[in-house]
Amino acid sequence: MDINGASAIVTGGASGIGAAVARQLAAKGAKVVVADLQEEKGRELAEEIGGAFCKVDVTNTDDIINAVEMAKSMGPVRVLVNSAGIGWAQRTVGKGGSYDTAANLDAFKKVVNINLIGTFDCIRIAATAMSVTEPMEYGERGAIVNIASVAAFDGQIGQASYSASKGGVVGMTLPVARDLAAIGVRVNTVAPGLIDTPIYGQGEGSEAFKANLQKGVLFPQRLGDPSQLASMVLECITNSYMNAETIRVDGGIRMPPK
């Protein structure tokens, strides 16, 4: 699928994986809406790549609509990348046996609300816009890529909410792809392993932590670069025969229990 001159929305696009995707989309000629809560970083990136910034909380449908409308003003909406997400770790049962030490249910709901429900809300709104764009060759109108995680398959101790949310993204990939086939929109999911993003912090302690993490990577034994993950996202977008699939990009890692 040729995305030159088309518009693309990248949620969580101001940093990390989302920013790497936004840069590669722009390099292919797409007009990118960086949809994020981080205004300063988002505006800087949008200026760098010749796109636009839209402040978006993916739990707010009106924010999502604003981003899609902005994209429509820049070109035919052909691409959505769902990269916005948060993590949370807490054991299901705490110490002491009292009910108030059990896992924080509000935190569980928040993770699912952002990572899973937010992703679906972005899909349904952006796909609605795609449905009325002029079809390309073979009736194709657009492509959607969700960012899940290997935690969807190898969830570690304390990752119940995160794994559930990312497992939900993986689980809805096929049925949503089947839904959207009627309008010529493909849907794929990429599940990253350990990617070197700002989530790990900076400094000596951060580097030591990352060095320990990468021991579990099969080969090459290091954390992945955001650009490597972004290149797989771009392949899912531009390869018109790629549909309804979840792809791990993880160096062969299988996460241990902890």
Q: What is the DSSP letter of 100?
A: G
Q: Which residues fall within 8 angstroms of residue 189, CB to CB, at 6 or more apart?
A: 145, 146, 147, 148, 169, 170, 173, 245, 246, 247
Report whether 98 contacts 105 (CB < 8 A).
Answer: no
Residue type (1 letter), 42: G
pLDDT digits (tens, 9 = 90+) for 77-115: 999 999 999 999 999 999 989 999 999 999 999 999 999
Query: Which listed residue (99, 138, 162, 200) is catalytic?
Result: 162
Looking at residue 224, its pLDDT comes to 94
pTM: 0.96
DSSP sequence for 146-198: EE--THHHHPPTT-HHHHHHHHHHHHHHHHHHHHHGGGTEEEEEEEE-SB--G
Mark whether 162 is an active-site residue: yes
- Topology of domain 7-249, CATH: Rossmann fold (3.40.50)
Domain limits, the chain: 7-249
Neighbours of 240 (CB within 10 A): 14
pLDDT digits (tens, 9 = 90+) for 163-187: 999 999 999 999 999 999 999 999 9
Instruction: List beta partners, residue 73.
Output: none
3-state DSSP percent of the chain in helix, strand and coil, to 5: 50, 15, 35
pLDDT digits (tens, 9 = 90+) for 151-163: 999 999 999 999 9
Residue 208 banded pLDDT, cuts 50, 70, 90: confident
Return left, alpha or beta for 44; rule: phi > 0 is left, psi -120 to 50 is alpha, else beta: alpha
Report whether 25 contacts 78 (CB < 8 A).
Answer: no
